[in-house]
Amino acid sequence: MKVSTEILHIKVDDRDARPSVTPIYQCSAFSADSAFFYSRKANPNVTELEQVVASLEGSEYALAYSTGMSAIYMVLELLKPGASLVINKYIYGCSYKLFQRYAARIGAHLTILDLTTQEGLKALPANVDMVIFETPTNPFLKDIDIHGVSRAVKQNNPQALVVVDNTWATPIFQKPLNFGADISLYSATKYFSGHSDVMGGLVLVNNQTIYNRLLEGRFYSGTILTPNSAWLLRRSMQTFNLRMEKHSQTTASMLNYLRELPFIEHVYYPRIDGKQLTGYGGIVFVDIRPDLVPFYKTFTSALKWFGTGTGMACVTSMVAQPFSGSHASMTDQEKADMGIEKGLVRLCFGLEDLEDLKEDLLQAFEAMEHKIDQESSVDPA
């Protein structure tokens, strides 16, 4: 045997390695008789993550995707041309645009309703095929009765699919499938990751037929999560409960503090009913005073412990303006219809010390007010 052949076929015998954590299977293909065969279909790291998430959700099946948006897109692929799609009025800006464009492409009828109200439920089309909503909503953290929506949908069309984006509640605090949802989905980039270092999407279902259709769609579209990303998410899952507990504690302590600040007009926080939603994490919205709005950049520049990137729900605190951030892809009229103005600010509390975060917000708000005083003062000369 020549050396060129030998070096290509030397492999370590790892049958007795017994690693404390599953290593990264950074390979595209497996033996023909392997249960995995090809990483576009399945991979040990992806499968392990899916098993962990399914256990946490209490679901029969889980599928991992490359991003949260790819997960949503593949769920939309369950629709047939000409279908009736209903979305909630309050929803993430990129999701909103995706629903618009996808519906137009397949000739689906798109209906936008406020499913937080009884009037919205009563307006559901009789021929609805799929309903998609977030609860708590993005923005404003409004709650939607999952069981109520499911009941209203199924009485008209038992085959219709109720899809809940559970990203912000997480399966720690809410399990949509237990309340009548057919599909529970997540942007794993947020709380599941928690460290701003990996992107991913997750879809959970109990129905085998739906699972098989989604699995086939993922295989042919190539939207499966990468082994490295799956490994990172699996690692993050080890501290999921602990992180969510800290996020929740910090946010609960922040609420009264924010409500008492003279710079804030309103604080948005979800209704925790103890049944559907049993707790909540670290994201809130606030309306700042109208006179402070022009000085938002002064506020963000003064912050020490709050980042200003597009990330959120991670170990470090973040601040963002939905008008120019999460909902920037929407038109000004669409934002106005949703009630999104420039004074709406999203605060995401990380794992920093509570008092440090309070002091940081206070000095940043005071910097805004100082800027107002500077611009309103009259030069005596």
For 176-186, how does the pLDDT look when each residue is reduced to its tens digit (9 = 90+)? 999 999 999 99
Please state the φ and ψ torsions of residue 212, each to the nearest 5 degrees: -65, -40
d(CA 245, CA 248): 5
What per-residue confidence (pLDDT) applies to 135?
A: 98
Residue 220's SS3 state is helix
Cβ within 8 Å of residue 265, ≥6 positions away: 286, 287, 288, 289, 343
What per-residue confidence (pLDDT) applies to 16?
A: 87
What per-residue confidence (pLDDT) applies to 378?
A: 54
d(CA 242, CA 247): 9
What per-residue confidence (pLDDT) applies to 8?
A: 87
Q: Do domains 42-235 and 238-376 have the same CATH topology?
A: no
Q: Where are the domains of the chain?
A: 42-235, 238-376
Structure tokens at 116: 């937080």
For 195-244, how does the pLDDT look when each residue is reduced to its tens digit (9 = 90+)? 999 999 999 999 999 999 999 999 999 999 999 999 999 999 999 999 99
d(CA 299, CA 287): 14
Under CATH, which number does the domain 42-235 receive? 3.40.640.10
In terms of DSSP H, where are the helices of the chain? Answer: 3-9, 44-57, 68-76, 93-106, 118-122, 146-154, 170-173, 208-221, 227-237, 240-260, 296-302, 332-338, 354-376
What per-residue confidence (pLDDT) applies to 311?
A: 82
Could you tell me the CA-to-CA distances from 103 to 72, 83, 370 in Å, in that order? 13, 8, 48
What per-residue confidence (pLDDT) applies to 374?
A: 84
Give, in words, the CATH class of 238-376.
Answer: alpha beta
For 322-341, how does the pLDDT look when each residue is reduced to its tens digit (9 = 90+)? 999 999 999 999 999 999 99
